[in-house]
Structure 1
Amino acid sequence: MGSRGRRERLRAETTAEIKNVALALMASGGPDAITLRAIAREMGMTANAIYGYFATRDDLVTALINDVYTALADAVDTAWEATPATDPAVRIEVWANAFRTWAQVNPQGFRLIYGDPVPGYQAPEKGAAPDAARRVCTGLTALAAAAWPHAQHLYQDSAFEWSDFDPGLLDKVRPAFPDLPPAAVALALRIWGHLHGLVSLEVYGHMHTQTTSPEKLFQEELAPLIKTLGVPRRR
């Protein structure tokens, strides 16, 4: 039992190292730098040895994507749940800031899931998104749900229908928010566009060539967004 436990621990440690090396290679050489042979070379392993951990490059990329989405979903969900539901404006702020903070701490992970695709990568099921990615989308819809009682009059003429959205997304969103109309899901995507745009520019280094205060810019974009939604502040 002790020997098996050591083997399992060493395997877990090596698997984690493989993933870290893969992200480091991507950071220095772009998505196409992720190859099992390159990782084996960096780790001083033989190519055959690394295949014992991941049979293909796509298996490794899939594991990385799942890990990254899970870490992001955990970060924003934790921030959201720690804030009182009675203060929707603050909840939206906290979720948005948790997303930005996570992206700053994990730029390689952000680039993997939101940047250029890994060339030639095929997901296990074509068009299928990881469950944690759906969790992030559900979290975004929670932002829209918090704002909807105050903002719905702005979108009462929306032409969106349920058929305009991915079925996999709706499988998560509609049971969680059965009273929301399609326009509210569209609102979630609009909110996402506001937040993601500035964070992406910052992660890729474009913002730092324009301003020394990217955080201030983010906060000053977030405040009027919440004001536009008509969400009241409780404190």
Structure 2
Amino acid sequence: MAGTGTTSRRERLRIETTAEIKDTALRLMASGGPGAITLRAIAREMGMTPNAIYGYFATRDDLVTTLINDVYTSLADTVEAAVAPAPTTDAGGRIQRWGHAYRTWVFTNTEGFRLIYGDAVPGYVPPSDGAAPEAELRFCKSLTELAAAAWPHAEHLYADSDFEWSDFDPALLDEVRPHLPGLPPAAVALALRIWGHLHGLVTLEIHGHLRGGTKSMDKLFKEELAQLVRSLTIPTEN
């Protein structure tokens, strides 16, 4: 039993140290930009030797890949949980729940947001298979599910659409099409349109570009969501 207890303590210490390494990396990025993420800098901040930190992450890129996966997992969990209570028939409600959850997540995870949507980490090389993180695909699928709920109302807006499946990333389609087999290519474009509206406004806000224009970002974002729903001719459920 003593051996089991020792192993458990070691595992807890490893988990705690790994979490501290990741938190330190994001803090360094927040203060010094993406280029500030180095294993030596993290080791110095934590009072570790460089050799010790290599026992947790063999390379800086391994750490960055882990951080990206963690950030997308947190984001995907957040928007999925926000939308889950809304019935699939309430397309407008699902868009609004998703949008507000996304904005809240961004402002409580600013370093993570900048990691995945800001300047690239200099010299970072993704895993050799080139595949997007699984959680990133989950996040994209949640967007496409919004479009699927809206599509019966918005389909007429895309009557002249000439989108084809070849216009979209194969990895995304592999994730989406088995789950939503009846969805046409134009509905995937609709998902990207919804994303563009919400992400664009949040990005302007988080970088401070709207400070001189309004003191009521909550109202502006809420109105943008409402206008988006109306533009898709989605009826409002009481």
- Indicate whether the TM-score tops 0.5: yes
Alignment of 1:26-65 (within 5 A): 26-65=29-68
**Is residue 233 from structure 1 mapped to residue 236 from structure 2 by the alignment?**
yes
2:10 to 7, 11, 14: 7
What is the alpha-carbon root mean square deviation over aligned residues? 1.0
Structure 2 match to 1:193: 196
Q: CA deviation at 1:163?
A: 0.4
Residue correspondence of structure 1 range 137-156 to structure 2 within 5 A = 137-156=140-159
5+ long unaligned stretches in structure 1:
none
Structure 2 residue aligned with 1:97:
100
Does residue 87 of the first structure (1) align with residue 87 of the second (2)?
no
Matched, 1:132 2:135: yes
Provide, for residues 160-216 of structure 1, a one-character-per-residue CA deviation record: whole Å limited to 9, x for no partner. Answer: 100011100000011111111100000100110000001111222222343221111
The Cα offsets for residues 57-97 of structure 1, whole Å up to 9 and x where unpaired, read as: 00000000000000000000011112222322111100111
Give the 3 Å change call, closer, same or farther, for CA 202–126 of structure 1 in structure 2.
farther
Shift of 1:126: 5.3
SS at match of 2:177: helix
Residue matched to 1:113: 116
Aligned residue pairs: how many?
Answer: 235
**Which amino acid letter does the alignment assign opposite residue 68 of structure 2?**
I
Cα pair distance change 1:209/1:46, threshold 3 Å: farther
Query: Structure 2 CA distance, aligned partners of 1:95 and 1:64?
Result: 23
Give per-residue Cα distances to partners, 1:132-153, cap 9 Å, x unaligned: 0001110110111111000001
The letter of the residue matching 1:212 is K
**What is the TM-score when the length of structure 1 is the normalising length?**
0.97
Name the CA distance, whole Å, in 1 between partners of 2:177 and 2:210.
36
Q: Distance in 1 between matches of 2:17 and 2:210?
A: 36
State the identity %. Answer: 69
Q: Which residue of 2 aligns with 1:210?
A: 213
1: CA distance, partners of 2:53 / 2:193: 42
Q: Which residue of 2 is the match for residue 23 of structure 1?
A: 26
Counterparts of 1:202 and 1:217 in 2: how far apart (Å)? Answer: 10
Give secondary structure in 2 for the equivalent of 1:27: helix
> Which TM-score applies when normalising by structure 2?
0.96
Alignment match, 2:74: 71
